[in-house]
Amino acid sequence: MTARPAAGDAEGPGAAAARFTGREAADERPLSGALAEVGLGDGQVVMVKRGDDPGAVRAEAAGLRWLADAGTVRVPAVYGHDRRWLVTERVPTGAPGARAAARFGRDLAALHTAGAPAFGAPPPGGPTDAYIGLAPMRNVPGADWPRWYAEHRVLPYLRRAVDDGTVRSAEGGVVERVCERLPELAGPAEPPARLHGDLWNGNVLWGADGQVWLIDPAAHGGHRETDLAMLQLFGCPRLDDVLDSYQDVAPLADGWRDRVGLHQLFPLLVHTVLFGRGYAEQTLAVARAALAA
């Protein structure tokens, strides 16, 4: 992966792709305001993403490299990045299949087992101030998962949601009580896992090559059940096959199904901050269920 100085805001996706690949851009197709496919003169197609925050670009590039270094899950190659642009391999997609799901479960277990220096540890070369989707996310290392998860993943987003009025002040107490009880609710202690960090279905690509590829990480050291809980939160094709295969390689601690809601509090609160009251109500329901268990 190559990091280079920015060429300026006037540069477009095609020029950025040419600069980082060393090949002429033949055409470009915008997919959103921040993402485009660029066809190169030799027929290859690459993905070009523009980031408004240099930290977001740096974090994604470092996260992709860290996941790739584990030699487990498939992630797109990074052709280059700077403060504004990230150019990566394009993954042709296909249909979900049982064989790909089983391999994905095994590979995800191996990725988690590759480990991290601490809970909250950023990828090597990644910034402390990173992002999960469009929401800021601070990677602050900690040794104790329940305390770290409460302080750096749940409570910051709860406070912002209360400040924004999305969660009423009187409602926030139920989430705070869950955080207070995390040491008893969290299950057996585990070492920090190497997480994708934003493992919802939209970041899981079923490749035309019959393998699963992961994109758009918010990578950090965390609890492996958090990645799995996010897969379950928004649905994933062949999820039972994925989980069964995962369990064959790295069995989860007893009671893990009862802890899914605890691990979903973080992404639910992120969505509450970004998208509003509907996710706030889901967050509160999950928190109440955790306390009642």
Reduced to 3 states (helix: H, G, I; strand: E, B; else coil), residue 178 is helix
- Rounded Cα distance between 56 and 26, Å, is 27
**Structure tokens of 160?**
């912002």
Q: Quick check: 276 and 160 in contact, CB under 8 A? A: no
- 52 with 194, same domain? no
In a domain? residue 8? no
Model pLDDT for residues 128-181, shown as the tens digit of each residue:
999 999 999 999 999 999 999 999 999 999 999 999 999 999 999 999 999 999
pLDDT at position 10, please? 67
Q: Answer with the residue of higher pLDDT: 52 or 260.
A: 260
CA–CA gap between residue 51 and residue 266 (Å, rounded) = 23
Residue pair 127/55 in contact (Cβ under 8 Å)? The answer is yes
pLDDT at residue 235 greater than cutoff 70: yes
Query: Do both 85 and 117 map to the same domain?
Result: no
| Domain contains 269 | yes
Look up the CATH number of the domain holding residue 45. Answer: 3.30.200.20
Report the predicted TM-score, pTM, of the whole model to 2 decimal places.
0.94
Same domain (yes/no): 262, 240:
yes
Residues 79 and 163 in one domain: no
CA 191 distance to own-chain centroid? 19
Q: Let me know if 198 is a catalytic residue.
A: yes
My answer on whether 198 and 64 are in the same domain is no
Confidence of residue 52 (pLDDT cuts 50, 70, 90): confident
The answer to whether position 2 is within a domain reads no
Q: Is residue 224 part of a domain?
A: yes
Query: By percentage, how much of the chain surpasses pLDDT 70?
Result: 97
Residue 137 and residue 226 in one domain = yes
Q: Is residue 5 part of a domain?
A: no
Q: From the CB of residue 120, how many other CB atoms can be counted at a distance below 10 Å? A: 24
CATH number for the domain spanning 264: value is 3.90.1200.10
Spatial distance between the Cα atoms of 128 and 141, rounded to a whole number of angstroms: 9
Segment 185-233, tens digit of pLDDT: 999 999 999 999 999 999 999 999 999 999 999 999 999 999 999 999 9
Q: Is the pLDDT of residue 89 over 70?
A: yes
- DSSP for 87-139 reads EEE---B----HHHHHHHHHHHHHHHHH--SSBTPPPTT--SEEEETTEEEE-
| Domain span at 251 | 98-292
Any domain includes 7: no
**In the structure encoding, which two tokens stand for residue 287, read together?**
């928190």
Residue 141 lies in a domain: yes
Same-domain check for residues 121 and 244: yes
Instruction: Judge if 164 and 243 occupy the same domain.
Output: yes
Single out the residue in 89, 110, 132 at which a domain terminates: 89
Residues 141 and 113 in one domain: yes
Q: Which of 42, 69, 164, 198 is catalytic?
A: 198
Domain end point (choices 54, 89, 124): 89
Of 89, 122, 137, the residue at which a domain comes to its end is 89
55 and 102, same structural domain? no
Tell me: the pLDDT tens digits for 108-124?
Answer: 999 999 999 999 999 99
In a domain, 265, yes or no: yes
Residues 81 and 131 both lie in one domain: no
Residues 231 and 192 in one domain: yes
Number of domains present in the structure of the chain: 2
